Structure 1
């Protein structure tokens, strides 16, 4: 799927068992360059970049987060891959508040990943623990834009997948790409990929954001 879609920038989460050697092997097989952020308590995350784009700056955030955040700067754009706390709505809210404060004023920024929460705009089931909307509201109150709400097509649900790997969820949207206002004019389309090997490769569907290229 990654080879077929050929993304210029790829945010990955739940990299259980991945160290720097394994992520480098994966990146090399895809013609990409990787930055991995390990996790103290949870699972690693990463951002991969396709040449001729190059990583000008890379940061790993391994504190204040149950999992981690990997941030790379490519030209004027910063891409953050993160995975919020899967167990506590309050802790997700704290993580989201901290990430939003850290990145909201840094020009063009994308924050992408499994946020383990439903947007209040999605009318979630109150009986579902992940329906706690505080984490999503924290990003929105910081001025970050839910790019699916801006330019999404289809139903937007990112779980469950088929293939017998998605039975832990009812249909909902847990995976997001947020952008700062500087990114918004360049957003062309947001879509969720489904079908084929995607149905059994993960318990989450991937989200694709198409941006109009530019020099600033």
Structure 2
């Protein structure tokens, strides 16, 4: 099973450097990944006209799914056969962008819960509350995935603070220290950071891409796929997807994880 998360930078409509109209680039990236499950963030305007843009993208990618719209940026969850969304909920209250909870099934008796998140840009206190609410919804003893743009620096990532350029929302309010409490809470709940598990000594960044010439970020890993212990035993690969045209399709690179 191949799992991915991808922040699309306002759904492909916003200009990124010299590039306008990135829908085709985003589609080429997703087709190149060929995921069984992908969570996509910032799908601005994809819900308009009866979800026409979302449905068109899903069909072109050979997938199906749902788009979830709250007060912030929309979140999309797409699956490829035999996986499908059997049930879904979207939580708006208490979440900046919302939280999509989907139950996936493959028609052969396998069930997986997936939480697709885009955490608050406002600060660690807000993200802590969001993650606490999310973790109450799922049991890490069962097959479960928590994935998305979490807007934080993991405690597994040894990022030097000196000279680091990051928006204030990824720092603690006091002292300028990196915001790493929320990732510790996720780990404490029993979920495994798939990329960190397979690359304990190697850093990696999902933002910015070369096209994001005006990005306020130093290279950092803001996008995550966390899995429950049973799924972690099936981890076979985790990588930041950099194949063309990923470097120009968004300001984020996708994160891709494979389970045996």
Q: Scaled by the length of structure 2, what TM-score is found?
A: 0.75
Shift of the 165–198 alpha-carbon distance from structure 1 to 2, 3 Å rule, reads farther
Match of 1:118 among 137, 153, 170: 153
- Equivalences for 1:1-216 in 2 at 5 Å? 1-19=29-47, 20-40=51-71, 42-75=72-105, 76-105=111-140, 107-126=142-161, 128=166, 129=168, 130=170, 131-152=178-199, 155-165=203-213, 167-212=215-260
- The structure that has the greater radius of gyration is 2
Runs of 5+ consecutive residues of structure 1 not aligned to the other structure: none
SS in 1 for 2:90: strand
Partner Cα distance (1:144, 1:122) in 2: 16
Structure 1 partner of 2:3: none
Partner Cα distance (2:185, 2:126) in 1: 12
Structure 1 partner of 2:4: none
Partner Cα distance (2:138, 2:213) in 1: 33
Aligned length: 211
State the Cα RMSD in Å.
1.8
SS in 2 for 1:48: strand
Is contact 1:148-1:190 (8 Å) kept? yes
Report how far residue 106 of structure 1 moved: 6.3
Compare relative contact order (CA 8 Å, sep 6+) and give the higher one, 1 or 2.
Answer: 2
Report how far residue 165 of structure 1 moved: 4.7
Partner Cα distance (2:141, 2:217) in 1: 34
SS in 1 for 2:229: coil
Runs of 5+ consecutive residues of structure 2 not aligned to the other structure: 1-28, 106-110, 171-177
Is contact 2:187-2:193 (8 Å) kept? yes
| Bigger mean CA offset, 199-208 vs 22-31 | 22-31
